[in-house]
Amino acid sequence: MNKELVEKIKNNPDYKALVSRRSSFAIKLSVAMLVVYFTFILTIAFNPSALGTPLSADSVTTIGIPIGIAVIIFAFVLTGIYTKRANSEFDDLNNKIKDALKEQ
């Protein structure tokens, strides 16, 4: 890719919007995942009895198991949310950038 084309892409307002929106969204999702994950880990570290409580009196399964599974499911949900937005809004902006370059 030549430098002139790179500069055209960098100066395109749609490219700037794409980079800004995608970065902002990725940071928000990353922070959400980190908060959930570290809350779980810190609970294990500082209050293990909270997650070690059995689900019922006769149960050998603790409350930590479904919460751990929920953390994993949360990660999958965030991945799905990002993919859905990437396949719609971000791809639309990407296509606008490509079309603008073809016209020039």
Per-residue confidence (pLDDT) for residue 104, from 0 to 100: 73
Q: Where are the domains of the chain?
A: 12-103
Cβ within 8 Å of residue 51, ≥6 positions away = 43, 44, 62, 63, 64, 67
Q: Is the pTM of this model over 0.85?
A: no
Q: For residue 59, what is the DSSP state?
A: -
Find, among 103, 102, 92, the residue nearest to 18 by Cα. Answer: 92
Which residue would you say has higher pLDDT here, 36 or 9? 36
pLDDT mean across residues, the chain:
93
Distance CA 58, CA 99 (A): 64
Report the run of H or E that residue 42 belongs to, with start and end. helix 13-46
